[in-house]
Structure 1
């Protein structure tokens, strides 16, 4: 009889221990982190984000708009920088990758973000002369007063390089005439650059005419005291001289 009672007590004790074990929390495996919030994945590590940023910069420069969308969705930064301080939008602008630029602008890329040289995506359009890129970046609301690295506006490099279509379109689409007479660090206005540094051909004649129509001041003198008209005459650019002579 006592033996049976002992067996019953041992069985009850075993059952109680089993119940406690079933209710005890399961130990967490080593190296595993439970997310701080239920259903929320852990944040990616810095190395992974750096890899995404590098891939985003490459995709923007290559014009892979689909990859740009994917990488931004993963968590790459729209303002990532390469070793020269260039962001994705700057790289897209330099390479004239319009679709990639549109995606970046839609995701909030800064059109006035300066690179290591002091240039921005917006002013870079004046260097490349890309009307399509200018149109893609314009919805981002660039600050027209922000100068390029030489202290000029986008009109300066465009005027020098003969980007007549760009000059005409940016004058029509923006209020950039508010800085049309800006003097850069070399002592030039955009009009002076078009005349003194241009070749006198049709594109530069169109630029001079467009700048004058927009209100450029032909009386501004360079550091040597010379006007655009004097430069045109000394260089033998008669048609440009005629344009300038009509407003002087």
Structure 2
């Protein structure tokens, strides 16, 4: 009877824990910081994973729910915990330009050397997508400017190859060059950022790169 009672208690405890974890994911998804706070006070497992391998913090980061992310991070959520496709709160916030959450991850142990499923740092997709303030923040944080991803591209190369050559990418190329990016690093085909800029008629970017070579 004692053993049966203990087993029942363990089963009920596991069910309660699972319910709390589900509630945490739901609260993170809707940005409910107050509900997150209540669940944390009840001892919910802060870094529990869903079927996609995501933590509640990553769920909140996907939706750019800053207050919810802040509550989770301050409660000890792992800003480097990766899901099944190698996204973490830090990497995703950087890639998507979720600047407030990115800054929170940086102040709570973000691994600047961590890489996404393409073998790239947070700086590379941020540069590609034109997130100027994010690129500035990551450079200031000390991310390796010349890191090469599995495609053979650096942040500078992606800021040219995958951009429209407009003002945001011009600003990003300027930031990268001013921070000391290696302008001569070429892609797997031996083509440099300057050569890509010229082939695409990105005149302003080409001028920035040419000045940076002097």
TM-aligned CA deviation for residue 225 of structure 1: 0.5
1:175 aligns with 2:142: yes
Residue 80 of structure 1 corresponds to which residue in structure 2?
Answer: 48
**TM-score computed with the length of structure 2 as normaliser:** 0.92
Q: Secondary structure at the match of 1:246?
A: helix
Which string of whole-angstrom CA distances, capped at 9 and with x for unpartnered residues, describes residues 133-173 of structure 1? 1122222111101111111111111111111121112223x
The more displaced of 209-218 and 135-144 is 135-144
Q: Which has the higher contact order (CA 8 A, sep 6+)?
A: 2
The answer (yes or no) to whether the contact 1:159–1:204 under 8 Å persists in 2 is: yes
Q: Secondary structure at the match of 1:53?
A: helix
For residues 150-229 of structure 1, the aligned pairs below 5 Å read 150-172=118-140, 174-176=141-143, 179-229=144-194
Residue 110 of structure 2 corresponds to which residue in structure 1?
Answer: 142
Alpha-carbon separation, structure 2, partners of 1:140 and 1:165: 19
Alpha-carbon separation, structure 2, partners of 1:61 and 1:124: 15
Number of residue pairs matched by the alignment: 209
Q: Secondary structure at the match of 1:104?
A: helix
Unaligned runs of 5+ in 1: 1-30, 34-41
1:97 aligns with 2:62: no
Name the Cα RMSD after superposition: 1.9
Q: Secondary structure at the match of 1:247?
A: helix
**TM-score computed with the length of structure 1 as normaliser:** 0.80
TM-aligned CA deviation for residue 185 of structure 1: 0.8
Alpha-carbon separation, structure 2, partners of 1:98 and 1:175: 23
TM-aligned CA deviation for residue 32 of structure 1: 7.7
1:68 aligns with 2:36: yes
Alpha-carbon separation, structure 2, partners of 1:108 and 1:245: 46
The answer (yes or no) to whether the contact 2:139–2:145 under 8 Å persists in 1 is: no
